Amino acid sequence: MKFNTKTIHGGQQHDPATGAVMPPVYQTSTFAQSSPGVHKGYEYSRAANPTRTALENALASIENGTKGLAFSSGLAATDAVMKLLKPGDEVVAMDDLYGGTYRMFTKVYTEYGIKFHFVDMNNEDKFRAALNENTKLVWVETPTNPLMKLADIEAIAKITKEKKILFAVDNTFATPYLQKPLDLGADIVMHSATKYLGGHSDVIAGALVVKDDNLFEKLHFAQFATGGTLGPNDSYLVLRGIKTLHLRMERHCFNGQKVAEYLEKHPKVKQVYYPGLKSHPFFDIAKKQMEGGFGGMVSFSFKSGAKADAVSFLEKVKVFTLAESLGGVESLANHPATMTHASIPEAKRLESGITDDLVRLSVGVEDIDDLIADIEQALG
Ligand SMILES: *Cc1c(COP(=O)(O)O)cnc(C)c1O
């Protein structure tokens, strides 16, 4: 089955009881048993719920994995991966991560005796130097938020395989429409399904997909034992979102590319961060591992370097909404320094390039002419 068919049918079956084409929302916490321990595969919805199962099967299908898990948020999904670790274990993570992931690693799991190294994944010597016999996990986000840095998944997987280290990729920005980390050698794919998979800014959800049954059992145990599962209504919403993922992504990519190209020519703009621009430092990696486009996320900075210019732009946009989050059908604009990335200490934030004049756009699926006109007036 091709990807554009998998989004609609992958892992799905009509409801066996009624033939319902869409899976019913099984709004139930528990399931009747005919004799103690005799049931139809469902006992209690923290362990499994049929609507969540339908979503988990779809997730596995679109990421070319064998098993999926749906969580109450992206961070709950990441948290389940962290539960595979023990005190003394070490994690090597990319030096540009979603703020909430960075906060979990440094503020929560450091306290539990896990050591984190944040390194430039594109420097093989530095990456190899950060690995040692305690390294149990490599964590990468590509493209990253908000600077659109890329990591070469295939190159990293070669090293993690050789050293038998688990390799997880946060695939939130690219989605499996553009990039399939499991095919490129990663062990775990993580998603904030709140973003493109859900696609309509109406649900908080997370996902993990793997292709190894043993690893699945461990992650499922972590989910079941600590409880960060996704409810049936929210499972339904994400599943419905996935059915149009390919259609939305096609337009996100088209609009994202146009917006990036427009901004690159604008006299007030200093730098545009978009993997689909030839000027992007990681354009070659993008072409190698992303297929069919480069997504809808675009960041840019101002020639003036002034925070006031970023703020003025964000106050003036009309079609774009000034809000956190991304990946929905509607266009959003965000100021990483004060909004999504405020949890990163200022010195660290500036060092990684998240300056006060940086604006991040989640380019939606509206008409491109309206989006460009809005940017033009807001920059004017
Ligand atoms: C939003 C986001 C997360 C966290 O997901 P939640 O659903 O908000 O918990 C993790 N990684 C990336 C890249 C994100 O954009």
pLDDT in tens, 138-192: 999 999 989 999 999 999 999 999 999 999 999 999 999 999 999 999 999 999 9
Residue 63's pLDDT band (cuts 50, 70, 90): very high
Residue 345's pLDDT band (cuts 50, 70, 90): confident
H or E segment and range at residue 190? strand 188-192
Q: Phi/psi class of residue 37: alpha, beta or left (left: φ > 0; alpha: ψ in -120 to 50)? A: left
What is the CATH classification number for the domain harbouring 187?
Answer: 3.40.640.10
pLDDT > 70: what percent of the chain? 100
Nearest residue to 59 (alpha-carbon basis) of 12, 2, 24: 12
Residues linked to residue 67 through DSSP beta bridges, in sequence order: 210
Are 41 and 10 found together in one domain? yes
Strand-by-strand arrangement of the 269-273 sheet: 269-273, 297-302, 359-362, 332-334, 321-322
Please say which residue of 242, 271, 304 terminates a domain.
Answer: 242
Indicate whether residue 172 lines ligand 1 (CB < 6 A).
yes
From 82, 179, 195, 341, give the residue whose CB has the most ligand 1 atoms within 8 Å, as the site to mutate.
Answer: 195
Predicted pLDDT at 99: 86
CB 136 within 8 A of CB 89: yes
Domain of residue 107 covers 3-242
Please state, in angstroms and as integers, the Cα–Cα distance from residue 276 to each residue in 47, 172, 256, following that order: 41, 17, 9
Please tell me the distance between residue 266's alpha carbon and the centre of ligand 1 in angstroms: 30
Give CA–CA dist 53/34, Å, rounded: 22
Range with the poorest average pLDDT among 20-24, 65-69, 95-99, 340-344: 340-344
Are 56 and 175 found together in one domain? yes
Give CA–CA dist 300/310, Å, rounded: 9
Indicate whether residue 141 lines ligand 1 (CB < 6 A).
yes
Using a cut of 0.85, tell me whether the model's pTM lies above it. yes
Indicate whether residue 204 lines ligand 1 (CB < 6 A).
yes
Residue 344's pLDDT band (cuts 50, 70, 90): confident
Q: Phi/psi class of residue 224: alpha, beta or left (left: φ > 0; alpha: ψ in -120 to 50)? A: alpha
Please tell me the distance between residue 342's alpha carbon and the centre of ligand 1 in angstroms: 15
Query: Residue 332: which residues within 8 A CB-CB, separation 6 or more?
Result: 320, 321, 322, 323, 324, 325, 326, 361, 362, 364
Predicted pLDDT at 145: 85
Concerning whether 98 is annotated as a catalytic residue, the answer is yes
Number of C-beta neighbours around residue 10 at 10 A:
19
Are 95 and 182 found together in one domain? yes
Token pair, residue 240, equals: 């419905």
Count how many Cα atoms sit within 13 Å of the Cα of residue 362 in the half-sphere of its side chain: 28
Please say which residue of 197, 214, 242 terminates a domain.
Answer: 242
Q: Residue 343 pLDDT > 80, yes or no?
A: no
Token pair, residue 250, equals: 């096609």
Predicted pLDDT at 175: 98
CB 326 within 8 A of CB 297: yes
Indicate whether residue 79 lines ligand 1 (CB < 6 A).
no
Indicate whether residue 144 lines ligand 1 (CB < 6 A).
no
Amino acid at site 67 = K
In tens, the pLDDT along 317-327 reads 999 999 999 99
Q: Residue 96 pLDDT > 90, yes or no?
A: no
Residue 51's pLDDT band (cuts 50, 70, 90): very high
Which residue among 6, 52, 79, 98 is the active-site one? 98
Concerning whether 170 is annotated as a catalytic residue, the answer is yes
Are 145 and 59 found together in one domain? yes
Which phi and psi angles does 169 have, rounded to 5°?
-125, 125
For the chain, report the end-to-end CA distance as a whole number of angstroms: 48
Token pair, residue 25, equals: 């929302």
Amino acid at site 65 = G
Are 173 and 318 found together in one domain? no
Which residue among 6, 52, 149, 195 is the active-site one? 195
Domain count within the chain: 2
Are 275 and 209 found together in one domain? no
Residue 17's pLDDT band (cuts 50, 70, 90): confident
CB 222 within 8 A of CB 38: no
Are 232 and 281 found together in one domain? no
Please tell me the distance between residue 262's alpha carbon and the centre of ligand 1 in angstroms: 28
Number of C-beta neighbours around residue 176 at 10 A:
28
Mean pLDDT, the chain, integer: 96
In tens, the pLDDT along 204-251 reads 999 999 999 999 999 999 999 999 999 999 999 999 999 999 999 999
In tens, the pLDDT along 240-251 reads 999 999 999 999
Among protein residues, the one with the nearest Cα to ligand 1's atom 7 is: 74
Are 257 and 237 found together in one domain? no
Are 357 and 283 found together in one domain? yes
From 145, 148, 173, 326, give the residue whose CB has the most ligand 1 atoms within 8 Å, as the site to mutate.
Answer: 145
Please tell me the distance between residue 77's alpha carbon and the centre of ligand 1 in angstroms: 10
Range with the poorest average pLDDT among 107-121, 144-158, 263-277, 331-345: 331-345
Please say which residue of 242, 264, 285 terminates a domain.
Answer: 242
Nearest residue to 143 (alpha-carbon basis) of 128, 121, 125: 121
Please tell me the distance between residue 364's alpha carbon and the centre of ligand 1 in angstroms: 18
Among protein residues, the one with the nearest Cα to ligand 1's atom 12 is: 98
Preceding peptide of 281 cis, ω within 30°: no
At 361 the three-state DSSP class reads strand
Give CA–CA dist 247/296, Å, rounded: 13
CB 71 within 8 A of CB 230: yes
Predicted pLDDT at 351: 86
DSSP state of 30: B
Are 337 and 218 found together in one domain? no
Preceding peptide of 146 cis, ω within 30°: yes
Q: Are strands 332-334 and 321-322 parallel, antiparallel or unpaired?
A: parallel
Are 238 and 250 found together in one domain? no
Among protein residues, the one with the nearest Cα to ligand 1's atom 5 is: 74
Are 64 and 137 found together in one domain? yes
